[in-house]
Amino acid sequence: MATETHCPYCSLQCGMRLTGRRVPEVSAWEEFPVNAGALCRKGWAAAGLYGGRERLTSPLVRDRATGEWAAVSWDDALDRVAAGIRAAQAEKGPDGVAVFGGGGLTNEKAYALGKLARVALGTSQIDYNGRWCMSSAASAGIRAFGLDRGLPFPLADVEETDVLVLVGSNLAETMPPAARHLDRLRARGGRVVVIDPRRTPTADRADLVLQPVPGTDLALALGLLHLLVAAGAVDEDYLAARTTGWAQVKESVAPWWPERVERVTGIEAAQVRELAAVLAGSPRVMVLTARGAEQHSTGSDTVLAWINVALALGMVGTRGAGYGCLTGQGNGQGGREHGQKADQLPGYRRIDDPAARAHVAGVWGVDPDSLPGPGRSAYELLDACGTDDGPSAMLVLGSNIVVSAPNATQVTARLEALDLLVVCDVVMSETAAIADVVLPVTQWAEETGTMTNLEGRVVLRQEAITPPSGVRSDLEVIAAIAERLGSTATFATDPEEVFAELGRASAGGPADYSTITYDRIREEGGVFWGGERLFASSFNHPDGRARMLTVEHRGAAEVPDDDYPVHLTTGRVLAQYQSGAQTRRVRDLPDDGPFVELHPLLAGRLGLATGEAVQVSTRRGTMTASARVVTTIRPDTVFVPFHWVGANRLTNDALDPASRMPEFKVCAARLAAVGRG
Amino acid sequence: MAERVVVVGGGMAAVRLAEQLVGADVRLTVLADEPHAPYNRILLSAVLEGTHSADALTLRSPEWFAAQGFDLRLGARVLELDRDTREVVLVDGERIAYDRLVLACGSIPTLPPIRGLVRRDGTLHPKVHPFRSLADCRRLDKSVVEVRAQRASKPSRAVVVGGGLLGLQVARALSVRGVLTEVVEGADHLLAGQVGPAAGGVLARDLRRLGTEVYTGARAVRMTDDGVQLDNGALLPTDLVVLTAGGRPSTALARRAGLMVGRGIVVDSTLTSVTDDRVHAIGDCAEHRRRTTGFVPPAWEQAEVLARVLRGEEAAYDGLRSVARLRATGLEVAVLGDPRTAEGEVVEVTNPIAGSHRRLVVHGGRIVAAALVGDLSRVGLITQLYDRGTILGPDEPGQLLLPEAADAPTTLPDEAEVCACAGVSAGEIRACGTVAECVDRTRATTGCGGCADAVRRLVGEVGPVRVPVG
């Protein structure tokens, strides 16, 4: 009998069917609306996560003196974890222990993890890798609309627009089944615009491709708005009825004429004009941003600038138009709604809001005053590890920090400075490898839980196969730690029970799950929180209006100079996912290792050919990989995929002041052909 | 006590300075002599052309100045600078005290020596239009409408005096409006202040192709009711004459106040007058290292540097890099630095047949100046390399000027991956008889769907398949 579930990877959460009890077999689930049976090779090969010899099935502890691992019983491992937590908190108080979660965790786990931190550990020091994913878009969405939901409409609405502008998204590689919507849109006569320093496979399907200097998407948006104002193409009636702040925004774009935009962005003024004309002449325009626009120290302002374009055109809230963010991680959306973010409580509530604290404390059966306040953001938390003011113990779930954190050499050193690092994982990831205690947990098809996809659609991943003996679910681990620490609050281990509690905790919050049940999800093909389409008649600020906020181009935190003369940007490849802890171990997925993509002009300057080794250096680190010479990238920019150790040793830890997003997508780098200096 | 900073001028440099002083511990007064809120002067030709609405020119509204706590005085004409008492004297007698004085007075158009331009009563001939301010632009716009109405079916005509950047922009704007336009330039080629004769020649050809006649090496000497008389004897009948030639830094106030003035008000690298360290000058009226500029980018750079100086930070203006761009439909010009005088090796491609001229001046591997006319491909990249001072390889400057190689269609080798989603090679697809069989056996086309065309061709008809880029 087949089990209906969802792919273990990206935010599309493609539906699929699984059969078999030990190693599942994947088949299409054509009735599920988001992907209608289509899958990319990661999805088809998902069963390769099972049956591998690298699967951890026993808790392990590492002897720091010898570096040797020893298998121990669950009781011994959990005792060691509890003792370490007590020691850290005895020395440094509640905040002596930190929790680091992930955007791939189910809603139930994200919720339980937040509760563990706030109730059983009493620590404010919790954040997660989703901070490095969509936090800039989330921050911008909350400020502009009063609400953050990646897409405020179903993904299929893309097909109904007239112009789709993809800013920093390579969805044809990162979420391939979504690219089918582009083809259907174009077959209908709609146009696709791609803005990316690389001419990606997504750009191959576009009618207009603009290749800006990394870190200048904001200036491009200002320039477009300038031209829309100049052409009288803004929707003044909409602006007057549904927004505030337009007068200031309008004035702020007056100095962004196309030739100035050209000098900043490296995009020819004629192309800026062309795009503006396309936008001005189209009844429906949809702007979608992704990591390329968002993973910057100016990421949230960049998103606000593009939101302003969509608002000025009067598009937000119109069907087949508007603004959305293409979330990255599997549960990027749900992961930020239920309390594993430093400043939030379940239901997307603010932890510094007294009413929110009272409500959630009521559900948890604790005194509101016992809940800690907001803690450090992800990078700041990691950077504080093992310092005098920072935590000395940390619990990690669903994250491979050593590969995925920016300025990774520094972060790894901080993790190594902890007195206790506990990692829950399915394999010995690069982060688990430096832990003191590794707890083997269930994964994907072995467990049940909900995910909230990029559309805000809550879907159900169902247990399809039997987990190997020796592993426990994350929920069981959380409950066991809470119990050992003597917590009086209850920590359920049944996912459906946890989901019901999550529903109560989120009730009345911005992301209210209280009416969603597993049965409804099964019956309705997923359930949208807040409704299928948002903002049709009002926004979520008290006055119902969207905020147009004035933003200025500041540029990247680090720009090329004589020592580091090129821009470095990072991203994904189709066959790998995130830090690769899963996909690099799937035999059917090609793993050619990292590479350095560069233009023939730059390759010629360095005397490099495809396949030759090239060393990339930044002020923070160095990596060596083989060169891939392509005409599709800007000649002043190089690209390195981030699925392998190395890329993030190079990246910049400059943070966005609003979202605390690190600047993954641009820094200054130097290249050298290996062996030739 | 916060310093009182008084800015004389309300143009683009002054606004930029004000923006950069938001939040600074200063009391700012801006004395703008025009009656409108500060506006974007460089877009005036676009307003004339009709591609930019005039009401979208405002850079910063009076409300913005008020919200920042800045005192903006519109229509404030300055009579005198009193450096002894540190006061600015307005024409109405009001005296405004300063701790720091910033002169951002811009430039004033000079009237060319054309007889009949100014009538006996001192007013301009009614057909004559200077083109500097928003008021000038509005007046010219009105005249265009009137002249076209009067002329009815017959074409109306205009003569633009001056073949510099502004002259060419205005000429194109008038031409786009349907006015038959001619350009008169005294130098032997167009844009003589920025580019050499070859580039100027290409531009003249472009303009003629667009229907605008160009007279170079010719001076307008007399203005009559019949038209404009040139020194080569030609008479150009016309309805409108637009003066775009000649502007000089506005230095009268500074000169009278005893500040050192060359072509402009002489300042050091902190934009401070060499005569009085409480006086600064930025923009078109300033002279730095014996150079004055007439463009916005250096003026803004100066404003940004001066703002830091006024905040007490270390900052210096080096004036090294400027980019001038022509904004006019159908004419493509970018000038980086000074390509006529910059020292270095010259890499140049001229194609008079296609109407393009591109010149890079390279020194020590860096692009130190460039002129791109008629073909702006890669202008964004070349500007980046120039601004960043990137050291290029020996072949790069030449390659930058060559067309980008197109990817030639080729036959896919069997091992080439066609379906990235399912990881299927061309050979595996060729081994299938039909698309359906291919889907069944390999799952090609079932992911993103992008390879559907390629698969159809591989299983069906023989024929070249484009290699996916990258």
Check B420 against A574: CB less than 8 A apart. yes
Which structure tokens are listed for A232?
Answer: 């009288």
Rounded distance between C-alpha atoms, residue A580 and residue A578, angstroms: 5
Q: Which of B51, B327, B384 sits opposite A259 (nearest CB)?
A: B327
List chain A residues with CB under 8 Å of B386: none
pLDDT tens by residue, A572-617: 998 899 998 999 889 889 888 999 999 999 999 999 999 999 999 9
Q: Nearest by CB to A266, which of B383, B391, B423?
A: B383
Fold for A60-133+331-528, please state it.
Rossmann fold (3.40.50)
* Confidence band of A566 (pLDDT split at 50, 70, 90): very high
- Please give, rounded to a whole number of angstroms, the shortest distance from the CA of B241 to a CA of chain A: 27
Angle, vertex CA B128, rays to CA B127 and CA B133, nearest 5: 130
Q: Cα B72 to chain center, whole Å? A: 27
Q: Is the Cβ of A615 closer than 8 Å to some Cβ of chain B?
A: no
Predicted pLDDT at B415: 85
- pLDDT category of residue B408 using cuts at 50, 70 and 90: low
Q: Is residue B315 part of a domain?
A: no
Please indicate if any CB of chain B lies within 8 Å of the CB of A232: yes
Amino acid at A487: S
Percent of chain A with pLDDT over 90: 95
- Chain B interface disruption, residue of A25, A29, A30, A40, most B CBs within 10 A: A40
Q: Has residue B305 been placed in a domain?
A: yes
Contact residues on chain A for B422, CB-CB shorter than 8 A: 40-41, 44
pLDDT digits (tens, 9 = 90+) for A88-117: 999 999 999 999 999 999 999 999 999 999
Per-residue pLDDT tens over the stretch A374-409: 999 999 999 999 999 999 999 999 999 999 999 999
Residues 6+ apart with CB under 8 A from A677: none
Which residues in B lie closer than 8 A to residue A251 (C-beta atoms)? 58-61, 64
B133 vs B108: CA distance, rounded Å: 10
Of residues A31 and B410, more confidently modeled: A31
Band (B466; pLDDT cuts 50, 70, 90)? very low
B322 lies in a domain? no
Return the minimum-mean-pLDDT range out of A238-252, A466-480, B149-163, B408-422. Answer: B408-422
Pairing of strands A3-6, A15-19: antiparallel
pLDDT tens digit string along B3-23? 999 999 999 999 999 999 999
Q: What is the pLDDT of residues A175-217, one digit of tens each?
A: 999 999 999 999 999 999 999 999 999 999 999 999 999 999 9
Record: contact A251-B60, CB cut-off 8 A: yes
Q: Can you list the alpha helix ranges (DSSP code H) found in A577-633? A: 600-606
Residue B113 lies in a domain: no
The CATH code of domain A3-49 reads: 2.20.25
- Sort strands B323-325 and B333-336 into parallel, antiparallel or unpaired: antiparallel
CATH of the domain at B376: 3.30.390.30
What does DSSP say about strands A344-345 and A349-350: parallel, antiparallel, or unpaired?
A: antiparallel
Q: How far is A492 from chain B (nearest CA, A)?
A: 38
Q: Taking a contact as any Cβ pair under 8 Å apart, which residues of chain A between 182 and 201 contact chain B?
A: 183, 199-201
- Between CA A575 and CA A571 the distance in angstroms is 12
Do B237 and B270 reside in the same domain of the chain? Answer: no
Assembly ipTM: 0.93
Q: Are residues B374 and B436 in the same domain?
A: no
Q: What are the tokens at B131? A: 């083109």
Concatenated DSSP letters of B212-261: -EEEES--EEEE-SSEEEETTS-EEE-SEEEE-S-EEE--HHHHHTT--B
Contact B399 A39 (CB under 8 A): no
Q: Are A445 and A464 in contact (CB under 8 A)?
A: yes
Quote the domain boundaries for residue B214: 128-245
Task: Report pLDDT for B467.
Answer: 44
- Write down the H helix ranges in B290-417: 296-310, 379-388, 396-401
Would the CB atoms of A254 and B42 count as touching at under 8 Å? no
**How many CB pairs (< 8 A) connect A and B?**
156
Q: Which residues 6+ apart lie within 8 Å of A249 measured at CB? A: A225, A308, A312, A548, A549, A550
Residues in chain A within 8 Å Cβ distance of B43: 230, 257
Domain assignment present for residue B459? The answer is yes
| pLDDT confidence band for B465 (50 / 70 / 90) | very low
pLDDT of residue A519 exceeding 50: yes
In this complex, which of A258, A589, A632 lies closest to B469 when CB atoms are compared? A632
To the nearest whole Å, the CA of A552 is away from the closest chain B CA by 11
Q: B177 and B96 share a domain? A: no
In a domain, B396, yes or no: yes
Could you give the C-alpha distances from A69 to A62, A382, A399, B180, B310, in angstroms and in order? Answer: 4, 24, 21, 86, 62
Residue B423 touches chain A, beta carbons under 8 Å: yes
Same domain assignment for residues B225 and B257: no
- What DSSP character marks residue A118? I
Residues of A in contact with B52 (CB under 8 A): 230-231
CB contact under 8 A, B393 and A604: yes
Report residue B234 as tokens. 């030609």
CA-nearest residue to B15 within chain A is: A255
How is residue A472 written in tokens? Answer: 């426990």
Whether the CB of A561 is below 8 Å from some CB of chain B: the reply is yes
Tokens linked to A116: 């563990």
Separation between Cα atoms, residue A656 and residue B283, nearest integer Å: 33
Dihedral sign computed on CA atoms, order A256, A257, A258, A260: negative
Q: What is the pLDDT of residue A676?
A: 55
Cα(B189)–Cα(B179) distance, integer angstroms: 23
Residues 440-479 of A with CB under 8 A from B: none
Percent of chain B, pLDDT > 90? 72
Tell me the shortest Cα–Cα distance from B415 to chain A, in angstroms: 14
Residue B461 reports pLDDT greater than 50 = no
For tokens 């890099």, name the residue. Answer: B321
Does B420 contact A39 at a Cβ distance shorter than 8 Å? no
Domain membership of residue B316 (yes or no) is no
Which residues does chain A have within 8 Å of residue B415's beta carbon, measured at their own beta carbons? none
Q: What is the pLDDT of residue B151?
A: 80
Q: Is the pLDDT of residue A631 over 60?
A: yes
- Put simply, the answer to whether A604 touches B395 (Cβ < 8 Å) is yes
Instruction: List, for residues A277-302, the tens digit of each pLDDT value.
Output: 999 999 999 999 999 999 999 999 99
> Closest Cα partner for B431 from B412, B453, B407, B414?
B414
pLDDT of res. A53: 84
Distances (CA, A) of A495 to A106, A147, A424, A461, A597: 9, 27, 18, 11, 43
* pLDDT(A523) > 60: yes
What is each CA distance from B298 to A548, B295, B303, B319, B362, in whole angstroms? 31, 6, 9, 7, 21
Contact A230 B52 (CB under 8 A): yes
If asked whether residues B232 and B161 sit together in one domain, one would say: yes
Structure tokens at B151: 């002329």
Of the candidates B382, B401, B420, which is a domain's last residue?
B401
Average pLDDT estimate for B373-381: 94
| Range list of β-strands (E), A486-539 | 527-528
Confirm whether B373 is domain-assigned: yes
Q: What is the residue extent of each domain of chain A?
A: 3-49, 60-133+331-528, 135-326, 566-673
- Residue B406's pLDDT is 62
pLDDT, mean of residues A548-571 = 97
- Flag whether pLDDT at B468 surpasses 60: no
pLDDT at B404: 74
CA distance A493 to A217: 45
Nearest CA in chain B to A260: B297
Chain B residues with CB under 8 Å of A631 CB are: 404-405, 407, 469-470
**Which of B63, B385, B446 has its CB closest to that of A636?**
B385
Task: Look up the CATH number of the domain holding residue B46.
Answer: 3.50.50.60
B422/A contact by beta carbon, under 8 A: yes
The verdict on B137 and B224 lying in the same domain is yes
Q: Are A199 and A277 in contact (CB under 8 A)?
A: no
Q: How many domains, chain B? A: 4
Query: How many other β-carbons are positioned within 10 Å of the β-carbon of residue A105?
Result: 29
CA dihedral B131, A226, A559, A193 (to 10 degrees): -130
Chain A hits for B40, Cβ within 8 Å: 254-255, 257
pLDDT at B247 > cutoff 90:
no
Task: Assign A677 a pLDDT band (cuts: 50, 70, 90).
Answer: very low
Judge if B168 and B239 occupy the same domain. Answer: yes
Strand partners, B128: B241
Does residue B455 belong to the interface with chain A, where contact is any CB pair within 8 Å? no
pLDDT of residue A509: 95
The answer to whether residues A235 and A283 touch, using CB atoms and an 8 Å cutoff, is no
B329 contacts chain A (CB < 8 A): no
What CATH number has the domain spanning A566-673? 2.40.40.20
| Structure tokens that stand for A144 in this block | 């502009």
For position A216, what pLDDT does the model report? 98
Does the beta-carbon distance from B51 to A559 stay under 8 Å?
Answer: no
- Residue contact A562–B391, C-beta within 8 A: yes
On whether any CB of chain A is under 8 Å from the CB of B110, the answer is no
- Give the DSSP letter string of A384-436: HTTSSSS-SEEEEES--HHHHSSSHHHHHHHHHT-SEEEEEESS--TTGGG-S
A484 touches chain B (CB under 8 A): no
How far apart are the CA of A382 and the nearest CA of chain B, in angstroms?
33
- Same domain as B185, residue B94: no
Cα atoms in the Cβ-side hemisphere of radius 13 Å centred on A242? 23
Do residue B81 and residue B187 come from a single domain?
no
Q: Pick the closest to residue B356 from B162, B170, B148, B206 (CA basis).
A: B206
Beta bridge partners of B369: B361
Cross-strand partners of B161: B184, B243
Residues B101 and B136 in one domain: no
pLDDT at B219 over 70: yes
Is the confidence at residue B152, as pLDDT, over 80?
Answer: no
Model confidence pLDDT, tens digit, residues A397-406 = 999 999 999 9
| Structural domain A135-326, CATH architecture | 3-Layer(aba) Sandwich (3.40)
Q: How many CB atoms lie within 10 A of CB B115?
A: 11
Interface test with A, best of B448, B465, B466, B467 (most A CBs within 10 A): B448
Rounded (10°) angle between helices B452-459 and B435-442 = 110
User: Which of A365, A382, A392 has its CA nearest to residue A431?
Assistant: A382
Residues B47, B24: contact at Cβ < 8 Å? Answer: no
Q: CA of B411, closest CA in chain A: separation in Å?
A: 19
β-pair type (A208-210, A527-528)? unpaired
Residue B469's pLDDT is 42
Distances (CA, A) of A606 to A93, A599, B378, B464: 54, 11, 21, 34
Q: In terms of domains, do B390 and B447 share one?
A: no
